[in-house]
Chains A and B, each alone.
Chain A
Amino acid sequence: MSSPKTHKEWERELLELEDFIAKAREAARKEAEPKSREALEAKIEDLEKGRDKFIDVMYSNLGPWEKVLIARAEKRPYTLDYVQALFSEYVELQGDRRGFADNAIIGGPALFNGQPVMVVGHQKGRNIQERQFRNFGMAKPEGYRKAIRLFDMAERFRMPVISFVDTPAADPGVESESRGISEAIAAAIMKMFELTVPTVAVVIGEGGSGGAIGIAASNRVLMLENSVYSVIPPEGCAAILWRMPERGPDASKALKLTAASALEYGLIDEILPEPKGGAHRSPVETFATVKEAIEKHLGALQKLSPEVVKTDRYDKYRGMGRFEIAEG
């Protein structure tokens, strides 16, 4: 059997069951006869128990490819959902001040528990228009240059930076190459290492290679349980290795792109558990988890002096890598 290609496809049977339950609920609501209604409701309860079991089975022991699908799910909370839930007085700032504006990276100042912070994140869209407007979450150079502006302001006004990472990759098109997508990403990473204010990044969906690290080189990096973080999209890896992009599921295993692997290799600080059935089944619970984690890490970082915040970040990345020492 071939692997499902989308989250919807993977969850198809579960979605059908949920749909059926919703319809049964509607029917029960309309049922005037109390006895029949009770009988219907009892049936619905059974169905719901069955659904919960189904979710349990589906979401226990998820493989890397299933995580890729969940991380990309269109129902998953996106950056602006977190912004709305976790912050107040968010004012979105736009433009790179060099002639261009990007809608795949968003950001601006906000209050987090009453404290000023700078929020930066990738934003995806949920329908065709939104997806096009957000360029599928693939930022162009101007997105990273806007992020650099926000990082600069954060430093100037002593605001911690909270990044939300959710991108398949940076935009690979001709326009982006013409305007220096590589330089924009590199300069954004470099800027993050100049900061003396604490920085916390949360990978909420797809951590897609250079496009992700461009806003994620932070003091602390957290990953939601079902998010992924990878040097290359699995399909791209399969295209290069085997010239078969359809072998993405195989590549996803080899790339070790799950949160558990990232933690094992010392590349992230914490895995944030998701509610049963994934972040999208209970966004409110997810927001609470993320909020609590940011509070904890930000709190610890804010005890450090600005200079130590900076060296802490340098030392963290300085230690990343695995190699052997040859004899002789």
Chain B
Amino acid sequence: MNTKAPANSEAFLQCINCKKILFSIDFEQNLRVCNYCGHHHRLSAATRIAWTFDEDTFEELDTELRSGNPLEFPDYVDKLHAAEAKTKRFDSVVSGRAKLEEMPVSVAVADFNFMGGSMGSVAGEKITRTLERAADEQTPAIIFCASGGARMQEGLLSLMQMAKTTAAAQRCAEAGVPYIAVFTDPTMAGVLASYASIADVIVAEPRALVGFAGTRVSKQAGVSKVPDDFQTAEFCLKHGMIDRIVPRKEMRDTLASLVRTLGGHALSAYAANGGKK
């Protein structure tokens, strides 16, 4: 795996879970997993892509898509601008083509740093295009989820992204192309209740928050007592909702094996087509 040098110049940092002090160099070499408690810290989309796919094979697409403020929702434009400045991106999802152990894959990676990875029209469009490219080009789809859910600021337009992305996943299934979802911290609500949950295979990072109703929403609905592991990847595994929990350092190998096996048939078709369609 092509680990990069520490991004920040700080020599130390604190684990957000166990609060122990970590050496930045160790932390980066350990893929931002705490050496003490194993907490998987959140990654930006760029880091995730660099650490998952073959070096310099990621071709980013759909970069022209940018959120507007279709509902003229209060403060939305300010939030968008702040998120754009923070992430240097136009939205929460990064999409494109990449290679994984030399196999072509259609890829989307959500970035929690952009408005909590929420899904509005742009994120929905990018996920849809990723799945459509997978179906059309016979390249397995890999989607890294990281989202608080649908983006409230785009109202019903956001809700309809659930239908749109799910329809695209259905098209992928019909085309015989495998779709693998990776639940990272957090994978919630409208994203979980649409394209994320109907992947052929679902793997999750340890202790990722995974659930339908956010705390503030469920509290509003009167839900109070919950189990200790409620809405974690481990809870989902126990209840049969996901296939495996995969530590970050094993993620690339696991995904490659899945693409090679489940995607074997599709990839033959892709090769017979002489690469791209």
Q: Could you tell me the distance in whole angstroms from the C-beta of A218 to the nearest C-beta in chain B?
A: 10
Q: Could you tell me the distance in whole angstroms from the C-beta of B68 to the nearest C-beta in chain A?
A: 5
Q: B101 within 8 Å of A by Cβ?
A: no
Chain A, residues 200-224, CB within 8 Å of chain B (1/0): the string is: 0000000001101110010000000
Chain A, residues 210-242, CB within 8 Å of chain B (1/0): the string is: 101110010000000000011111011101110
Q: Which of A187, A213, A237 has a CB less than 8 Å from the CB of B159?
A: A213
Once the chains are docked, how many angstroms separate the CA of A107 from the CA of B177? 33
**Residues B17-33 near A (CB distance < 8 A):** none
Q: A326 within 8 Å of B by Cβ?
A: yes
Does B121 contact A323, Cβ atoms closer than 8 Å? yes
Does B156 contact A256, Cβ atoms closer than 8 Å? yes
Does A183 contact B152, Cβ atoms closer than 8 Å? no
Does A318 contact B128, Cβ atoms closer than 8 Å? yes
Kindly report which residue of chain B lies nearest to residue A319, judged by CB atoms. Answer: B164
Does A186 contact B73, Cβ atoms closer than 8 Å? no
Once the chains are docked, how many angstroms separate the CA of A138 from the CA of B217? 14
Q: Which of A170, A187, A323 has a CB less than 8 Å from the CB of B212?
A: A170
Chain B, residues 182-204, CB within 8 Å of chain A (1/0): the string is: 00000001101111111000000
For B154, list chain A residues within 8 Å (CB): 231, 322
Chain A, residues 294-326, CB within 8 Å of chain B (1/0): the string is: 000000000000000000011001101111111
Does B167 contact A317, Cβ atoms closer than 8 Å? yes
Q: A59 within 8 Å of B by Cβ?
A: no
Contact (A186, B121) CB under 8 Å given A210-B162, A232-B150, A265-B70:
no
Once the chains are docked, how many angstroms separate the CA of A209 from the CA of B198? 18
Once the chains are docked, how many angstroms separate the CA of A46 from the CA of B213? 51
Does A183 contact B198, Cβ atoms closer than 8 Å? yes
**Among A138, A177, A229, which residue has the most Cβ atoms of chain B within 10 A?**
A177
Kindly report which residue of chain B lies nearest to residue A232, judged by CB atoms. Answer: B152
Q: Could you tell me the distance in whole angstroms from the C-beta of B257 to the nearest C-beta in chain A?
A: 24
Q: A115 within 8 Å of B by Cβ?
A: no
Contact (A231, B197) CB under 8 Å given A183-B241, A318-B167:
no
Does A174 contact B223, Cβ atoms closer than 8 Å? yes
Q: A182 within 8 Å of B by Cβ?
A: yes
Does A189 contact B158, Cβ atoms closer than 8 Å? no
Does A183 contact B90, Cβ atoms closer than 8 Å? no
Kindly report which residue of chain B lies nearest to residue A258, judged by CB atoms. Answer: B156
Does B155 contact A325, Cβ atoms closer than 8 Å? no
For A261, list chain B residues within 8 Å (CB): 71, 155-156
Q: B259 within 8 Å of A by Cβ?
A: no
Q: Which of B128, B166, B189, B212 has a CB less than 8 Å from the CB of A189?
A: B166
Q: B230 within 8 Å of A by Cβ?
A: yes
Once the chains are docked, how many angstroms separate the CA of A239 from the CA of B216? 7
Does A239 contact B166, Cβ atoms closer than 8 Å? no
Does A229 contact B68, Cβ atoms closer than 8 Å? no
For A174, list chain B residues within 8 Å (CB): 223, 225-227, 230
**Residues A151-173 near B (CB distance < 8 A):** 169-170, 172-173
Does B122 contact A323, Cβ atoms closer than 8 Å? yes
Does A255 contact B193, Cβ atoms closer than 8 Å? no
Once the chains are docked, how many angstroms separate the CA of A41 from the CA of B124? 61
Q: B169 within 8 Å of A by Cβ?
A: yes
Total interface residues on B, CB under 8 Å, equals 67
Q: Could you tell me the distance in whole angstroms from the C-beta of B208 to the nearest C-beta in chain A?
A: 14
Q: A120 within 8 Å of B by Cβ?
A: no
Q: A44 within 8 Å of B by Cβ?
A: no
Does B155 contact A255, Cβ atoms closer than 8 Å? yes
Once the chains are docked, how many angstroms separate the CA of A212 from the CA of B190? 12
Contact (A254, B71) CB under 8 Å given A172-B213, A209-B190, A232-B217:
yes
For B156, list chain A residues within 8 Å (CB): 229-231, 255-257, 261-262, 265, 267
Does B193 contact A185, Cβ atoms closer than 8 Å? yes
Q: A125 within 8 Å of B by Cβ?
A: no
Q: Could you tell me the distance in whole angstroms from the C-beta of B178 to the nearest C-beta in chain A?
A: 15
Once the chains are docked, how many angstroms separate the CA of A238 from the CA of B125? 27
For B70, list chain A residues within 8 Å (CB): 265, 322
Does B195 contact A186, Cβ atoms closer than 8 Å? yes
Q: A4 within 8 Å of B by Cβ?
A: no
Chain B, residues 61-83, CB within 8 Å of chain A (1/0): the string is: 00111111011011000000000
Q: Which of A187, A229, A231 has a CB less than 8 Å from the CB of B198?
A: A187
Does A236 contact B155, Cβ atoms closer than 8 Å? no
Q: B275 within 8 Å of A by Cβ?
A: no
Does A318 contact B221, Cβ atoms closer than 8 Å? no
Once the chains are docked, how many angstroms separate the CA of A194 from the CA of B49? 32
Kindly report which residue of chain B lies nearest to residue A191, judged by CB atoms. Answer: B170
Once the chains are docked, how many angstroms separate the CA of A245 from the CA of B222? 13
Name 16 interchain pairs, CB-CB below 8 A, sorted by A: A186-B192, A186-B194, A186-B197, A194-B170, A210-B194, A212-B159, A213-B162, A232-B150, A255-B152, A267-B156, A321-B124, A322-B68, A323-B67, A323-B121, A323-B122, A326-B66
Q: Which residues of B contact A (CB under 8 A)?
A: 63-68, 70-71, 73-74, 90, 120-122, 124-125, 128, 150-152, 154-164, 166-171, 173, 189-190, 192-198, 211-214, 216-221, 223, 225-227, 230-231, 235, 239-241
